[in-house]
């Protein structure tokens, strides 16, 4: 069985979304964006251009003031965050925000316990995602002792337990050295080969040029370029 539940051509679609942090000063004004599976997409732009804001809108953490967002044809305003998370995994800009438990095994099994699975199944799923992220040897490590890159892969492991079709990663290479970036690139390529759609919000062109695919450029809440490399 693969990690994902199949592949779709079109996945996340935002139509005419508007959003503001300060009433009277729209930040995102009538933005359209469509992200498809089978394609690596990078969304680039300077600090404050709105990358994190758009990522959070696409997974329902922030709500648009108008416009609609669909995941595989379903309007996310009618879906719970848990339901959205089972379809689209979202890696926060700081992975430490996504880690709560004392050990790697507890962190991952806790996510599974929420779903009421039996103990053996939970352990086999935890082993599966740890193997996928090359972290088998960290299974019983304290989460506190993990390096930044390992915390990031643990957060990603937790996301992959949900078997999402689509992954959105916000600045996944910040704080990673060249070797850790190579590990992350290899993991993302493996997930792509399994059929996942991946969007990376980043400043790091050196990283994303490994993948080819689509590059969107943002500036002040607007998409100013959309090209395939
Ligand atoms: N919670 C908030 N309240 C008010 N303004 C915010 C909030 N979060 C972000 N902003 C503002 O919204 C704009 C877009 O921020 P956002 O974090 O989406 O940009 P970004 O492209 O992800 O930046 P970075 O590259 O630094 O991560 C910025 O001007 C930022 O100051
Ligand atoms: Mg950001």
Kindly report which listed range (42-46, 58-62, 93-97, 225-229) carries the lowest average pLDDT score.
93-97
Query: Relative to the CA of 56, which ligand 1 atom is closest?
Result: 18
- Taking the complete model, does pTM exceed 0.85, yes or no? yes
Does ligand 1 have an atom closer than 6 angstroms to the CB of 49?
yes
Q: Which domains does the chain have, with CATH numbers?
A: 10-96+164-228 (3.40.50.300)
* Ligand 1 midpoint to CA 52 (Å): 7
- pLDDT > 70 in the chain, percent: 96
Q: How confident is the model at residue 2 (pLDDT cuts 50, 70, 90)?
A: very low
Nearest CA to ligand 1 atom 3: 21
Q: How confident is the model at residue 10 (pLDDT cuts 50, 70, 90)?
A: low
The pLDDT value given to residue 9: 58
* Ligand 2 midpoint to CA 127 (Å): 31
Q: How confident is the model at residue 111 (pLDDT cuts 50, 70, 90)?
A: confident
Of 28, 48, 202, 203, the one to substitute when testing ligand 1's pocket (max ligand atoms within 8 A of C-beta) is 48
DSSP the chain: --SSS---SEEEEEEEEEE-SBTTB-SEEEEEEEEETTSEEEEE--TTSSHHHHHHHHTTSS--SEEEEEETTEEGGGS-HHHHHHHEEEE-SSGGGG--SSBHHHHHHHHHHTTT--HHHHHHHHHHHHHHTT-GGGTTSBGGGS-HHHHHHHHHHHHHTT--SEEEEESTTTT--HHHHHHHHHHHHHHHHTT-EEEEEES-HHHHTTT-SEEEEEETTEEEEEEE-
Residues 120-148: pLDDT tens digits? 999 999 999 999 898 999 999 999 999 98
* Ligand 2 midpoint to CA 119 (Å): 37
Does ligand 1 have an atom closer than 6 angstroms to the CB of 23?
no
The pLDDT value given to residue 30: 94
Contact 195, 1 (CB under 8 A): no
Does ligand 1 have an atom closer than 6 angstroms to the CB of 151?
no
């Amino acid at each position: 069985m693969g990690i994902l539940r199949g592949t779709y051509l079109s996945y996340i679609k935002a139509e005419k979304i508007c959003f503001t942090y300060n009433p009277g000063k729209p930040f995102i004004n009538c933005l359209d964006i469509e992200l498809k599976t089978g394609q690596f997409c990078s969304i680039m732009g300077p600090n404050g251009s709105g990358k994190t804001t758009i990522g959070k809108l696409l997974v329902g953490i922030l709500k648009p003031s108008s416009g609609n967002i669909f995941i595989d044809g379903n309007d996310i305003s009618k879906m719970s965050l848990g339901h959205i998370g089972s379809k689209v995994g979202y890696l926060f800009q700081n992975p430490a925000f996504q880690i709560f438990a004392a050990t790697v095994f507890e962190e991952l099994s806790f996510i599974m316990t929420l779903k009421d699975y039996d103990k053996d199944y939970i352990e086999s799923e935890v082993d599966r995602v740890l193997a996928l992220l090359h972290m088998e040897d960290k299974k019983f490590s304290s989460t506190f002792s993990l390096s930044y890159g390992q915390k990031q892969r643990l957060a990603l492991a937790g996301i992959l337990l949900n078997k999402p079709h689509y992954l959105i990663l916000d600045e996944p290479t910040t704080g990673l050295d060249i070797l850790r970036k190579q590990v992350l690139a290899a993991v993302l390529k493996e997930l792509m080969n399994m059929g996942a759609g991946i969007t990376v919000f980043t400043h790091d062109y050196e990283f994303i040029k490994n993948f080819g695919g689509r590059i969107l450029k943002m500036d002040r809440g607007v998409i100013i370029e959309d090209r395939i490399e």
